[in-house]
């Protein structure tokens, strides 16, 4: 049974920044909500109330925020919305108020799920209301919303490709600069490496930690009291006659395998597999899948670092259709030239000019969860036929130089 952090203790500062906590409460009201990625990350701000009528501010980001927003939009029952967060972090007051928030991928979110913790909280909540300790909770999304925002009505597929070039794997492998692209590949084989299929991560940054007991320390000397296990898989991929190796990280592997690294590690330990170099057969389920990937191609290592996957067959077919230019008879999965961006100016067509790639000067979001990004010295070995040098390299380089802006500031993602 989880031990939930008391809201009063949070308010009084009885907590540590290097700890992750379990939080539970009923949604009391909802504040600023950014429904779609634009100039700001997807987020939802709300307050939770406990059975003693204490309240705490909370913020969920990106996938976690989307999950709560979707639930509230689709909610039809008359009961309250109980939110349970396992491994949440507490952010001290500063520019913004004291807030409970999710981590990058470690936090587990439950919304009115039929788990023992929520069922027990619901029972205590009903008793508090009947005893007059609490007033009846607000039920509907419209009642809870104090304000909401989301000017760009992008679908998940549109956000997947937004501001990134769509191209086949063969064209991506010819790029001479680090570039984030969208492509379609088939996963062929999980490649073993000398670090294993999972690693222990820092609570504060994306780096791996070391140590036999807490506090575990990363390269930046952040102390971590909680064991946080994350996936890292090198996977051989293929499209038509081109092969490469992509690195898949925790969120994407968990999405494809439908099991977290921590849970799979526990299952392995139960049957005596305690070495991360021993790959369980569950890992093999990632093989043989045709998926769309948003990937940062790194020509120095001849490797791609995946930061999002999508396995919808219609979306994949649409991307393949665009490898040779957009078609007129297919329903596009991406915005057209008439779409309006968040600053109310016409947005540039995402599907235009597949031969031109705008390089990303700053590190991609994937690098923020790459524990080896600073210390990687040599590229991974590759199976299959080597990718031949492309005669188009010089032409691609010239196109990049002619289209990249010298005045646009590099965008650095911030882990929330």
Mean pLDDT, residues 242-254 taken together: 94
29 vs 184, more confident? 184
Return phi, psi of residue 251, to 5°: -60, -40
Comparing 94 with 138, the larger pLDDT belongs to 94
**One fold for 7-144 and 156-403:** yes
pLDDT of 365 > 60? The answer is no
Residue 268 has pLDDT above 60, yes or no: yes
CB contact at 8 A, 245 and 191:
yes
Contact between 43 and 60 under an 8 Å Cβ cutoff? The reply is yes
Average pLDDT over residues 280-297: 96
Q: Measure Cα distances from 356 to 156, 166, 177, 181, 351 in Å.
A: 24, 10, 12, 11, 11
pLDDT at site 154: 55
Give pLDDT, residue 75.
83
Distance CA 228, CA 264 (A): 13
Q: Is the pLDDT of residue 231 over 90?
A: yes
pLDDT at 245: 96
Phi-psi region of 203 (alpha: psi -120 to 50; beta: other; left: phi over 0): alpha
pLDDT exceeds 80 at position 258: yes
Q: Is the pLDDT of residue 280 over 60?
A: yes
| Residue of 331, 341, 400, 336 whose CA lies nearest to 181 | 400
State the average pLDDT over residues 355-361.
38
pLDDT at 255 over 80: yes
Task: Tell which wins on pLDDT, 79 or 223.
Answer: 223
Chain mean position to CA 400:
28
Mean pLDDT of 332-352: 37
Question: Higher model confidence: residue 76 or residue 4?
Answer: 4
Predicted confidence (pLDDT) at residue 106 exceeds the cutoff of 70: yes
* Gap between the Cα atoms of 286 and 246, Å rounded: 12
CATH class of 7-144: mainly beta
Q: For the ranges 51-55, 130-134, 373-377, which has the lowest average pLDDT?
A: 373-377
Q: Which fold has domain 156-403?
A: OB fold (Dihydrolipoamide Acetyltransferase, E2P) (2.40.50)
Contacts of 248 (CB under 8 A, 6+ apart): 231, 232, 233, 234, 235, 256, 286, 306, 309
Instruction: Give the pLDDT confidence score for residue 105 in this predicted structure.
Output: 86
Structure confidence at residue 387 (pLDDT): 38
Q: What is the pLDDT of residue 155?
A: 65
CA 269 – CA 233 distance, rounded (Å): 19
Higher local confidence (pLDDT), 6 or 344: 6
Spatial distance between the Cα atoms of 167 and 281, rounded to a whole number of angstroms: 32
For residue 268, the number of C-alpha atoms closer than 13 Å in the C-beta half-sphere is 20
Which of 77 and 371 is assigned the larger pLDDT? 77
Please provide the size of the chain in residues: 416
> Which residue shows structure tokens 């389920």?
285
pLDDT given at position 325: 54
Domain ranges of the chain: 7-144, 156-403
- Is the backbone of residue 20 left (phi > 0), alpha (psi -120 to 50) or beta? beta
Percentage of residues of the chain with pLDDT beyond 90: 50
Tell me what the pLDDT averaged over the chain comes to: 77
32 contact partners, CB below 8 Å, separation of at least 6: 43, 45, 147, 148, 149
Average pLDDT over residues 282-309: 94
């Amino acid at each position: 049974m989880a031990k939930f952090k008391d809201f009063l203790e949070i308010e009084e500062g009885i907590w540590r920044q290097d700890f992750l906590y379990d939080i539970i409460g009923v949604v009391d009201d909802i504040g600023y909500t950014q429904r779609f990625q634009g100039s700001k990350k997807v987020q939802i701000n709300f307050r939770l109330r406990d059975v003693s009528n204490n309240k705490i501010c909370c913020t969920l980001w990106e996938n976690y925020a989307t999950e709560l927003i979707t639930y509230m939009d689709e909610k039809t029952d008359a009961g309250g919305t109980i939110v349970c967060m396992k491994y949440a972090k507490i952010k001290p007051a500063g520019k913004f108020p004291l807030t409970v928030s999710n981590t990058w991928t470690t936090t587990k979110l439950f919304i009115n799920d039929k788990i023992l913790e929520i069922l027990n909280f619901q029972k205590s909540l009903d008793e508090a209301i009947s005893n007059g300790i609490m007033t009846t909770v607000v039920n509907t999304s419209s009642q809870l919303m104090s304000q909401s925002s989301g000017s760009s009505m992008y679908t998940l597929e549109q956000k997947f490709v937004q501001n990134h070039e769509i191209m086949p794997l063969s064209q991506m492998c010819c790029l001479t600069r680090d570039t984030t692209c969208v492509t379609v590949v088939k996963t062929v084989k999980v490649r073993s490496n000398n670090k294993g299929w999972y690693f222990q991560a820092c609570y504060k940054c994306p780096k791996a930690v070391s140590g036999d007991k807490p506090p575990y320390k990363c390269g930046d000397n952040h102390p971590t009291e909680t064991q946080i296990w994350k996936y890292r898989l090198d996977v051989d991929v293929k499209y038509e006659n081109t092969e490469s190796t992509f690195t898949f990280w925790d969120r994407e592997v968990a999405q494809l395998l439908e099991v977290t690294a921590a849970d799979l590690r526990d299952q392995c330990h139960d049957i005596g597999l305690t070495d991360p170099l021993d790959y369980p057969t569950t890992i093999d389920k990632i093989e043989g899948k045709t998926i769309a990937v948003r990937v940062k191609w790194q020509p120095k290592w001849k490797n791609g670092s995946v930061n999002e996957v999508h396995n919808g067959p219609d979306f994949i077919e649409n991307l393949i259709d665009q490898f040779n230019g957009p078609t007129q008879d297919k329903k596009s999965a991406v915005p057209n030239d008439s779409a309006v961006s968040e600053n109310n100016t016409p947005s540039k067509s995402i599907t235009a000019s597949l031969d031109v790639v705008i390089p990303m000067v700053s590190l991609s979001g994937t690098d923020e969860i790459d524990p080896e990004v600073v210390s990687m010295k040599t590229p991974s070995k590759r199976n299959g036929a080597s990718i031949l040098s492309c005669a188009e390299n010089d032409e691609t380089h010239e196109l990049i130089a002619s289209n990249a802006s010298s005045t646009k500031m590099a965008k650095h993602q911030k882990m929330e």
